[in-house]
Structure 1
Amino acid sequence: MSKHWLLAAAACIVAPAQAAPDAWPALAPIRLHAGENSVPDIAGDGKAGTITLDWRENGNAWSYDIYTVKVGGSIATVNDKDRFTDSPHTGEDVITSVRFARGKRGGHTTTFALVAHRNWTESVPDPAPTTITLYALQRNDDGIGTPYAFAKIAERTTTRRYCHADMALKTELGFPLTKGYDGLPSIDGC
């Protein structure tokens, strides 16, 4: 590899990204480690919570992470499920990325989940438009279902095609890459 290619590739990773949509809150990433991660005031109402990160090994390219969020002792749901899951595939071509952040909503700081999903059709490594969905953790005040849930508050599909869901979050929203990012350093991860 030439020295100039490496410098250009590094610049793509640290270059300023396109601004997040105006309706989206400013978000500060939550860095997770395997196992239980404590989050004080997780839903903005004073209760502590956790985000647990577990690995589901399949012995092939279809293993995945499982993210379980609890407020107090109660699991917070998303779309009537008890967890978020990603789809890292080989790591070089992540299909679905799940990231967590803190930000303000309704005057309170709460936890957000960002899910970026590449909408591939022919082959996993092929560039594909990516749908980015933003969820906010909130108290379920209607008394039906779990006490806390992640509500979808925004969604957009990119016009740019991506080969890595984490690079879509970086390029489209300025969300930092994970420490273990294994895709190409180009603006689209291809």
Structure 2
Amino acid sequence: MRTVLLFLLFGVFASAAQAAELAISEIAIIPIHGGFNTVEHFAADDRTATVIRAWRGNGNAHGHYSYLVLLPLVESRGTDGEMGVVAFDDGVSPLKDTASVSPFDGERVLGALRFARAKLDGVAATVVIRADLGESDSGILADHAPVDISIYRLEQPDTGAGTTPDVFRIVSKARPTARFCNADMALTTILHLPLPADYAGGAGPSGCGD
């Protein structure tokens, strides 16, 4: 079993004194293809999710994939049989209905996202793992760049006025010292996740061909 320690950030942007280590282990990727995906036992209460992956094109290299996650609303929330949108909470912006990542030109993937089952500090969870490239020091798009690794955990907050029943809430955000040219390779190098079958980036642990 491989365990990786990341920084758990309180309020996302925490000082070094506030940061604690979050151990993620036993990561099992949930395969998601284009279109509609049915994922059984997705939530802690065993509900089945529908995950929709769709492409939003804009005629150039800045199109992106969007992910919409749906879960049945339970009877206690008054809408038995209805489907609810699972929101994404990054701790900074208002809740979002979808998560999006940009592959840019395929060789330099700017953002990568995986759904997975894992253990966080030994507790089983359904998670979303993201890698997002920042800007390189040189300002050259193809150069080595920092990467942010974020982990979102599926949670069911207490219901009540102004609450959303199901939320992927950020629990960890870390920026390793290594630099990368491809977000998919960053997830492989840092968290040992498998590369996509259609990986088209550079070779080597940075994805820069070196």
TM-score grouping bracket, smaller chain normalisation:
0.7 to 0.9
How much does 1:186 deviate? 1.1
Quick check: which one's helix share is greater?
Answer: 1
The alpha carbon displacement at 1:105 in A equals 5.1
Structure 2: 5+ residue stretches without partners: 6-21, 73-82, 90-94
Query: Which residue among 122, 130, 147 is the counterpart of 1:115?
Result: 130
Q: 1:171-182 counterparts in 2 under 5 A?
A: 171-182=189-200
Q: Aligned equivalents of 2:29 and 2:98: distance in 1?
A: 19
For 1:139, the equivalent position in structure 2 comes to 156
Q: What secondary structure, in the 3-state scheme, does the structure 1 residue paired with 2:4 have?
A: coil
Q: Give 2:177's aligned residue.
A: 159
Corresponding residue of 1:96:
111
Equivalent residue for 2:87? 77
Does the C-alpha gap of structure 1 residues 30 and 142 become closer, same or farther in structure 2, counting only changes over 3 Å? same
Runs of at least 5 residues in structure 1 that lack an aligned partner in the other structure: 1-17
2:152 pairs with 1:128: no
Taking the aligned partners of 1:97 and 1:23, their CA distance within structure 2 comes to 21
Instruction: Quote the residue 2:68 is aligned against.
Output: 68
1:20–1:174 Cα contact (<8 Å) kept: no
SS in 1 for 2:24: coil
- Contact conserved, 1:43 with 1:109, CA < 8 A, in 2? no
- 1:23 has 2:23 as partner: yes
Q: How many Å separate the matches in 1 of 2:185 and 2:118?
A: 21
Under a length normalisation based on structure 2, what TM-score does the superposition of the two structures give? Answer: 0.77
Question: CA offsets, 1:59-100, max 9 Å, x none?
Answer: 110011001111111111112000110011101111111111
Conservation of the 8 A alpha-carbon contact between 1:112 and 1:137 = yes
Q: How many residues align?
A: 173
Match of 1:42 in 2: 42
Structure 1 residue ranges, 4+ long, deviating more than 4 angstroms after superposition: 105-109
TM norm structure 1: 0.84
State how far apart, in whole Å, the 1-side matches of 2:45 and 2:104 are: 37
* Offset at residue 142 of structure 1 (A): 4.6
Contact kept, 8 Å, 2:39 with 2:50, in 1: the verdict is yes
Task: Tell me, yes or no, if the aligned pair for 1:44 and 1:108 is still in contact at 8 Å.
Answer: no
**2:18 aligned partner:** none
Tell me which residue corresponds to 1:12: none
The Cα of 1:145 is off from its aligned counterpart by 2.5
- Output the amino acid matched with 2:172: A
CA distance in 2, matches of 1:47, 1:108: 18
Aligned partner of 1:15 in structure 2 is: none
**Percent identity of equivalent pairs:** 35
Contact 2:114/2:128, CA 8 A, preserved across alignment:
yes
By how many angstroms is 1:46 displaced?
1.6
**Partner SS state of residue 90, structure 1:** coil
Distance 1:69 1:124 in 2: 31
Question: Is 1:52 matched up with 2:52?
Answer: yes
Contact 1:25 1:104 in 2 (8 A): yes
In 1, distance between residues paired with 2:140 and 2:3?
A: 30
Which moved further from structure 2: 119-128 or 69-78? Answer: 119-128
What secondary structure, in the 3-state scheme, does the structure 1 residue paired with 2:189 have? helix
